[in-house]
C-alpha cells in the first residue's frame, strides 16, 4: 500500500500544479510574456547602444482609469497621456505659459466666438492627419452625458453642453442632442467654438489633456467605453505608447512627429511602482533613471541630497494647500474667528521643521507659478499671536474641541498636529486631529457636509491661469466649493474678468476678486508646494514642469 500512497501524493501534487495554473488561466503565458518583456528591457541597453537608440526608465504608477484623455484626471495615467497626446496649446515647461502647438491661431474679438485654425501636416501615430473634425467629434463624445466621462465638465463653457446631459439620474431617456451647438467644422483645418458666456482664458484652458483630439480609430472602437482603444491609445504627441501592462508602460519616439516639442530619448519606460520608497531606492542604486517623488523621511535633514549627489532637483508647482472652514460649524462663521485661527499659526516654522522648506508659506489663494499671481492677498496669513488672541477673544472663543480633518494616507498628520499645537499654545483652545483612513473617506465626509471644524483641501491646477485657482473653488455653487462660500461681489468680478478683452485687464480683475477672499477668509491658505525629483547617473539633466511631471523633451544623457 505504501507505493500507492506515494503515487497518490505525487498525483495530488500534479493536481495542485494544475489548479495553480488554472487559477491564473494563461498564467504561464502571462508570466512568460512579462519576463520576455523584462529581458528585452534588460538587454535593450546593449542592443540600443549598437543602433544608437537611447532609453530611460521613469517611475510610473498604476492608472486609476482606462487611458482616455477625457477619463483620466490623475497623474499615473496623466503622465503617460501627456507625452502621447498633443493639444492645441502647449504649456511651457519652465513657466507654464501657454504656447500654440497644434493650433496655428486661436482668435476671438468678443471672447465668445473663437476661431481655431490648425497647422497642417500633423499626424496621429496611426498615420492619419489631425483635422478639425478630430477635435469637434472628440469633444462632443466626451461631453455626451451617457458616455460618463470624468472630465466632461471641462466642456461646460461651450454652448450646447447642457443639451448633451441626461435629463434624469439613470439616463433612461437619451439627451436632447448629440453634438454641441457651439462647435462647428468650417473646413479640414478650421473650426469654431462658441461659449455660453465670455471666457477670456479659453486659450489657456485648451492646453488641458481633455481637449486633445481623437483619431478616427477612437471612434471606430465599437466598445461603448472605448476599452480597446484605451489599451494603447493613439495620439499625436512626440511619443507613442507601445506597451501597457502591470509592470510598465513603454513609450517610443514617434518618427513622424512634426511639432515643436519633440521627445529627446528614443524610448521611455514608465516602470510601475506601488511605493515611492522602492522607486527612490532604485534611483539611488541607478536601477531606475528618474523618480518624481522623494519619500518624506528622506527629505528630513536633506538626506536625499546626500543619497543623490548632483542628481536631484526641485521645481515650484501649481499646487496650493488650504484649510477650509466647515460650513456647518456656526462657531467658525465670524470673520474674527477665521482670522484668529489663521494668524495664530507660524506657517514658516511648520514648512521649515516638517517639510524642510519643501513648501513655501502661502500669502494668498493663488499659486505663484501662474500668470496673474500677486503676493499678499491674504492679510491674515501673517503670523501675529497677540493680534490672533485679541481677535479670538472678540469672537467669543471656540467651545468644545476644534478638529482638523485630514486623510491619514497622505502624510498630513504631522503638519495637522503642528497646526493644532500652535492653536492650543497661542489661543488656548482645544484642538485635535481627525485622520480618516483614506482620501475617499475624507472626501465623502466633506462632500456630504458631515464634518465640523476644519478640513484640508489641496488644489492642483488644471491649467495655468489665476482663474483656475478662484472660479472652481470659490464661485457660488462651484464644484469644489467645500466651504459653501458665496459673495455676489466676488462672483461679479469673476464674470467681468472672464469677459475682459485683454489678458492684463482680466488678471487685474481676478486680483481684485482674490482681494475679496482676503476680506472674507473662505479658507486659510497654508503653503505652496514644490516638487522634488531625483535621477540616475545616466542622466545629465532633465526638467520638471510646473505640473510636477517630467518634460520628456528635456532629457539629456551623459
R_g over Cα of the chain: 26
Please work out, in degrees rounded to the nearest 5, the angle formed at the alpha carbon of residue 255 by the alpha carbons of 32 and 543.
85
- Rule CB under 8 A: say whether 328 interacts with another protein: no
Contact between 213 and 236 (Cβ < 8 Å): yes
CA 127, 132, 136, 142 torsion-angle sign? positive
Applying CB under 8 A, which of residues 247, 413, 486, 487 lies at the interface with another protein? Answer: 247
* Nearest-approach distance from CB 190 to another protein, in angstroms: 30
Instruction: Name the β-bridge partners of 255.
Output: none
230: which 3 cell numbers?
484605451
How many whole angstroms separate alpha carbon 45 and alpha carbon 266? 12
* Nearest-approach distance from CB 392 to another protein, in angstroms: 28
Query: What residues have CB less than 8 Å from 101, skipping those under 6 apart?
Result: 86, 87, 88, 89, 90, 207, 259, 260, 261
- Rule CB under 8 A: say whether 6 interacts with another protein: yes
Segment (H or E) for 423: helix 413-427
* Nearest-approach distance from CB 107 to another protein, in angstroms: 30
- Rule CB under 8 A: say whether 29 interacts with another protein: yes
Please work out, in degrees rounded to the nearest 5, the angle formed at the alpha carbon of residue 52 by the alpha carbons of 551 and 244.
50
What strands lie across the sheet with 190-194, from one edge to the other? 103-107, 113-118, 190-194, 183-187
Tell me which residues in 81-110 interact with another protein (CB under 8 A).
none
Residue 246 vs 310, nearer CB to another protein = 246
How many whole angstroms separate alpha carbon 40 and alpha carbon 461? 38
Length of the chain measured in residues: 558
Segment (H or E) for 404: strand 401-407
How many whole angstroms separate alpha carbon 235 and alpha carbon 241? 9
Binding mask 390-429 for another protein (x = CB under 8 A): -------------------x--------------------
Closest Cα to residue 555, out of 123, 265, 266?
Answer: 265
How many whole angstroms separate alpha carbon 65 and alpha carbon 74? 9
* Nearest-approach distance from CB 463 to another protein, in angstroms: 15
Applying CB under 8 A, which of residues 118, 279, 388, 395 lies at the interface with another protein? Answer: 279
Applying CB under 8 A, which of residues 133, 443, 538, 543 lies at the interface with another protein? Answer: 443
What are the backbone dihedrals phi and psi of residue 202, each rounded to the nearest 5 degrees, phi first? -55, -40
- Rule CB under 8 A: say whether 24 interacts with another protein: yes
Applying CB under 8 A, which of residues 46, 173, 246, 330 lies at the interface with another protein? Answer: 246
Applying CB under 8 A, which of residues 46, 127, 169, 310 lies at the interface with another protein? Answer: 169
Contact between 358 and 548 (Cβ < 8 Å): no
Tell me which residues in 285-314 interact with another protein (CB under 8 A).
285, 287
- Rule CB under 8 A: say whether 31 interacts with another protein: yes
- Interacting span for another protein (CB under 8 A) from 93-101, 133-141, 212-220, 433-441: 433-441
- Rule CB under 8 A: say whether 186 interacts with another protein: no
Torsion of CA 213, 217, 221, 225, to 10 degrees: -20
Applying CB under 8 A, which of residues 54, 128, 281, 554 lies at the interface with another protein? Answer: 281
- Rule CB under 8 A: say whether 153 interacts with another protein: yes
Count of chain residues binding another protein (CB under 8 A):
86
Contact between 257 and 276 (Cβ < 8 Å): no
- Rule CB under 8 A: say whether 438 interacts with another protein: yes
Applying CB under 8 A, which of residues 394, 444, 449, 540 lies at the interface with another protein? Answer: 444
Binding mask 455-484 for another protein (x = CB under 8 A): --xxxx-----------xx-----xx-x--
Contact between 166 and 201 (Cβ < 8 Å): no
Residue 189 vs 463, nearer CB to another protein = 463
The CB density around residue 382, as the number of other CB atoms within 10 Å, is 15
* Nearest-approach distance from CB 118 to another protein, in angstroms: 28
- Interacting span for another protein (CB under 8 A) from 9-17, 181-189, 251-259, 332-340: 9-17
Applying CB under 8 A, which of residues 69, 230, 418, 431 lies at the interface with another protein? Answer: 230
How many whole angstroms separate alpha carbon 488 and alpha carbon 165? 27
Residue 293 vs 507, nearer CB to another protein = 293
- Interacting span for another protein (CB under 8 A) from 8-16, 310-318, 359-367, 484-492: 8-16
Applying CB under 8 A, which of residues 54, 92, 128, 147 lies at the interface with another protein? Answer: 147
- Rule CB under 8 A: say whether 437 interacts with another protein: yes
* Nearest-approach distance from CB 81 to another protein, in angstroms: 14
* Cα–Cα distances in angstroms (integers) from residue 411 to residues 263, 295, 355, 386, 554, in the given order: 34, 10, 11, 31, 31
Closest Cα to residue 436, out of 423, 424, 445, 449?
Answer: 445
Residue 39 vs 430, nearer CB to another protein = 39
- Interacting span for another protein (CB under 8 A) from 46-54, 87-95, 280-288, 494-502: 280-288
- Rule CB under 8 A: say whether 25 interacts with another protein: yes
Terminal alpha carbon distance of the chain: 70
Binding mask 45-74 for another protein (x = CB under 8 A): -----------------xxxxx------xx
Contact between 49 and 265 (Cβ < 8 Å): no
Applying CB under 8 A, which of residues 332, 427, 442, 524 lies at the interface with another protein? Answer: 442
- Rule CB under 8 A: say whether 43 interacts with another protein: no
Residue 63 vs 182, nearer CB to another protein = 63
Amino acid at each position: 500500500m505504501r507505493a500507492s500512497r506515494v503515487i497518490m501524493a505525487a498525483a495530488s501534487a500534479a493536481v495542485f500544479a494544475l489548479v495553480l495554473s488554472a487559477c491564473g488561466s494563461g498564467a504561464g503565458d502571462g508570466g512568460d510574456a512579462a519576463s520576455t518583456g523584462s529581458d528585452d528591457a534588460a538587454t535593450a541597453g546593449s542592443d540600443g547602444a549598437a543602433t544608437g537608440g537611447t532609453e530611460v526608465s521613469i517611475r510610473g504608477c498604476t492608472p486609476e482609469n482606462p487611458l482616455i484623455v477625457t477619463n483620466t484626471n490623475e497623474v499615473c495615467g496623466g503622465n503617460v497621456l501627456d507625452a502621447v497626446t498633443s493639444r492645441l496649446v502647449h504649456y511651457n515647461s519652465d513657466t507654464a505659459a501657454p504656447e500654440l502647438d497644434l493650433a496655428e491661431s486661436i482668435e476671438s474679438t468678443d471672447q465668445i466666438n473663437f476661431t481655431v485654425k490648425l497647422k497642417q501636416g500633423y499626424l496621429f501615430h496611426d498615420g492619419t492627419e489631425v483635422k478639425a473634425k478630430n477635435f469637434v467629434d472628440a469633444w462632443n463624445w466626451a461631453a455626451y452625458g451617457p458616455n460618463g466621462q470624468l472630465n466632461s465638465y471641462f466642456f461646460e463653457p461651450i454652448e450646447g453642453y447642457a443639451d448633451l446631459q441626461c435629463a434624469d439620474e439613470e439616463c433612461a431617456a437619451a439627451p436632447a442632442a448629440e453634438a454641441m451647438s457651439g462647435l462647428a467644422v468650417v473646413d479640414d483645418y478650421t473650426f469654431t467654438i462658441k461659449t455660453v458666456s465670455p471666457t477670456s482664458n479659453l486659450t489657456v484652458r485648451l492646453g488641458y489633456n481633455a481637449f486633445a483630439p481623437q483619431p478616427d480609430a477612437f471612434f471606430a472602437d465599437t466598445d461603448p467605453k472605448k476599452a480597446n482603444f484605451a489599451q494603447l491609445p493613439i495620439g499625436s504627441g512626440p511619443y507613442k505608447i507601445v506597451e501597457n501592462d502591470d509592470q510598465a508602460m513603454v513609450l517610443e519616439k514617434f518618427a513622424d512627429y512634426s511639432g515643436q516639442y519633440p521627445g529627446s530619448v528614443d524610448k521611455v519606460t514608465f516602470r510601475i511602482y506601488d511605493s515611492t520608497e522602492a522607486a527612490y531606492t532604485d534611483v539611488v542604486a541607478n536601477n531606475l533613471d528618474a523618480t518624481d517623488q522623494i519619500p518624506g523621511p528622506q527629505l528630513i535633514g536633506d538626506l536625499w541630497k546626500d543619497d543623490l549627489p548632483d542628481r536631484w532637483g526641485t521645481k515650484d508647482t501649481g499646487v496650493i494647500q488650504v484649510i477650509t472652514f466647515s460650513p456647518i460649524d456656526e462657531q467658525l462663521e465670524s470673520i474674527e474667528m477665521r482670522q484668529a485661527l489663521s494668524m495664530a499659526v507660524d506657517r514658516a516654522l511648520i514648512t521649515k521643521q516638517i517639510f524642510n522648506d519643501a513648501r513655501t508659506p502661502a500669502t494668498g489663494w493663488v499659486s505663484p507659478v501662474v500668470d496673474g499671481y500677486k503676493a499678499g492677498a491674504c492679510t491674515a496669513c501673517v503670523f501675529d499671536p497677540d493680534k490672533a488672541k485679541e481677535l479670538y477673544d472678540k469672537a467669543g472663543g471656540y467651545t468644545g474641541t476644534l478638529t482638523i480633518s485630514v486623510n491619514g494616507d497622505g502624510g498630513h498628520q504631522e503638519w495637522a498636529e503642528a497646526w493644532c499645537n500652535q492653536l492650543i499654545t497661542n489661543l488656548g483652545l482645544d484642538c485635535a486631529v481627525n485622520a480618516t483612513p483614506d482620501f475617499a473617506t475624507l472626501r465623502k465626509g466633506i462632500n456630504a457636509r458631515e464634518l465640523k471644524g476644519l478640513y484640508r483641501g489641496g488644489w492642483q491646477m488644471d491649467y495655468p491661469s489665476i482663474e483656475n485657482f478662484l472660479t472652481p473653488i470659490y464661485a457660488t455653487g462651484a464644484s469644489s466649493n467645500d466651504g459653501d462660500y458665496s459673495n455676489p461681489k466676488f462672483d461679479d468680478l469673476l464674470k467681468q474678468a472672464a469677459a475682459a478683452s485683454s489678458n492684463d485687464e482680466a488678471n487685474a480683475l481676478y486680483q481684485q476678486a482674490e482681494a475679496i477672499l482676503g476680506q472674507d477668509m473662505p479658507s486659510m491658505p497654508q503653503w505652496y508646494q514644490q516638487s522634488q525629483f531625483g535621477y540616475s547617473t545616466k542622466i545629465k539633466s532633465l526638467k520638471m514642469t510646473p505640473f510636477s511631471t517630467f518634460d520628456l523633451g528635456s532629457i539629456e544623457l551623459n
